[in-house]
């Protein structure tokens, strides 16, 4: 993925997928749907899932809503629960938390009423994701732990896949609150399950999470291997949304080990893909990390410009953790320029957000605020 020719080749594939599932393709997909109510509904749901896999959440929302109308007209309670779950997940991707919450809770209620263990588990996972995305990590952990009581009641194949995903999500929440050993245990268990059922996508998703933990533990080359192997599988399966995350992970490790040019290449490629698929959250991350490279180069003003764009995108997508981290980065840059008042303003904003999330980042932020205040007093 570092080779320019290879990058252009898979970008050409993305162009083709954009023509199929990108903005403005909804009407074309509808026209291609087969005749027959149930067949059309299934086609719309499957197409929405493919759009989500590539990264086109907006198109997925349109398709799921169209399928939901058919399910409502048919009074199909099983499909209503299923589609509400799908729609809720798509709204999470969009950053539309109210819509996501409404559909996931609707799916939860329907699944409870029909004793549908599979959709009940996925509704709980979705609600956990929503809390995680909003920075409510402890609440997300509680939801995931509760979900473990439902999973054993599912069919065997569904149970294993759902449990592996649950453990990945639980590990990610533990990671955010600084419980790295707990996170590592969850990811290891998730990997074992995915390998046991030969779920290549599940293995890749867990590898991505293991990349995060190894990077935090300063096992940089192990982290890079995990990110690269995950990225290869994402690319093979046209999962461009996930690919951008793997590229970001690679970029972070490469930057840490001093490979600045390779790092910035990953960030720029991630930015390029995120602009195409319309993922504002991912775009914000890519811009924020490019800002970090400008900091390294001593270009503080340019870095602040990138971080400011990132901050706006974090707010638009309700990315609370990203918003807090960006405030802290901007605060540090103002401090480096001896601009103490704006530095403290951003740092205090970061502190309040981290406290609200019970994030482990509170400790470092407090230390930074103390340093700035000491220098102001001098």
Region 269-296: what's the mean pLDDT? 93
Q: Say yes or no to pLDDT of 8 above 80.
A: no
pLDDT of residue 156: 65
* pLDDT confidence of residue 367: 95
As a whole number of angstroms, the distance between CA 318 and CA 336 comes to: 28
Distance of CA 329 to the CA centre of its chain: 21
**Is the model's pLDDT at 3 over the cut of 60?**
no
Say how far apart CA 270 and CA 29 lie, in whole Å. Answer: 27
Whether 157 has a pLDDT exceeding 70, the answer reads no
pLDDT of amino acid 15: 93
Residues 6+ apart with CB under 8 A from 169: 125, 128, 129, 132, 140, 144
pLDDT of residue 1 exceeding 60, the answer is: no
pTM for the whole structure: 0.86
Question: Which of 296, 234, 232 shows the shortest CA–CA distance to 263?
Answer: 296
What pLDDT is stored for residue 141 in this prediction? 97
Mean pLDDT on 67-94: 95
For residues 282 and 310, give the distance between their C-alpha atoms in angstroms, rounded to a whole number: 10
Residue 199 is classified by DSSP as: -
Contact 55, 277 (CB under 8 A): yes
> CA 83, 68, 78: angle at the middle one, nearest 5?
50
Distance of alpha carbon 238 from alpha carbon 2, whole angstroms: 18
pLDDT in tens, 12-40: 899 999 999 999 999 999 999 888 888 99
Question: Which residue ranges form the domains of the chain, and what is each CATH number?
Answer: 1-115 (1.25.40.10), 279-378 (1.25.40.10)
Pairwise CA distance, residues 224 & 252, whole Å = 9
**Cα three-residue angle 140-142-146, rounded to 5 degrees:** 115
> How far apart, in whole angstroms, are the C-alpha atoms of residue 189 and residue 327?
35
Stretch 188-193: mean pLDDT, rounded? 96
149-153, 223-227, 359-363: which has the minimum mean pLDDT? 149-153
Per residue in 106-122, pLDDT (tens digit) is 999 999 999 998 899 99
3-state secondary structure at position 130: helix
């Amino acid at each position: 993925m570092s080779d320019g020719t290879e990058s252009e080749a898979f970008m050409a594939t993305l162009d083709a997928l954009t023509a199929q599932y990108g903005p403005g393709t909804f009407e074309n997909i509808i026209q291609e749907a087969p005749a027959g109510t149930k067949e059309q509904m299934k086609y719309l749901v499957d197409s929405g899932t493919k759009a989500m896999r590539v990264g086109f959440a907006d198109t997925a929302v349109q398709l799921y809503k169209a399928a939901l109308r058919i399910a409502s007209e048919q009074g199909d309670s099983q499909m209503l629960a299923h589609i509400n779950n799908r729609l809720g997940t798509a709204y999470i991707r969009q950053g539309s938390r109210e819509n996501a919450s409404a559909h996931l809770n609707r799916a939860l209620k329907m699944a409870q009423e029909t004793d549908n263990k599979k959709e009940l588990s996925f509704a709980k996972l979705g609600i956990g994701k929503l809390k995680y995305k909003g920075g409510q990590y402890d609440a997300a952990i509680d939801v995931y732990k509760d979900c473990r009581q439902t999973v054993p009641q599912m069919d065997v194949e569904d149970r294993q896949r759902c449990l592996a995903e649950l453990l990945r999500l639980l590990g990610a929440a533990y990671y955010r609150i600084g419980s790295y050993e707990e996170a590592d245990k969850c990811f290891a268990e998730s990997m074992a399950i995915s390998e046991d059922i030969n779920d290549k996508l599940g293995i890749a998703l867990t590898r991505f999470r293991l990349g995060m933990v190894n990077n935090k533990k300063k096992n940089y080359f192990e982290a890079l291997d995990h990110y690269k192997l995950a990225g290869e599988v994402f690319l093979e399966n046209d999962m461009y949304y996930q690919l951008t995350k793997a590229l970001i992970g690679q970029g972070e490790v490469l930057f840490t080990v001093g490979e600045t040019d390779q790092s910035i290449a990953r960030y720029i490629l991630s930015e390029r893909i995120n602009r195409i698929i319309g993922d504002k959250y991912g775009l914000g991350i890519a811009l924020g990390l490019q800002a970090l490279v400008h900091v390294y180069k001593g270009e503080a003003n340019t870095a602040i410009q990138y971080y400011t764009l990132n901050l706006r995108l974090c707010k638009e997508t309700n990315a609370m953790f990203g918003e807090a981290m960006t405030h802290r980065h901007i605060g540090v840059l103002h401090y480096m320029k001896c601009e103490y008042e704006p530095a403290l303003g951003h740092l205090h904003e970061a502190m309040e957000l981290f406290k609200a999330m019970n994030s482990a980042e509170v400790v470092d932020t407090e230390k930074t605020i103390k340093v700035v205040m000491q220098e102001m007093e001098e």
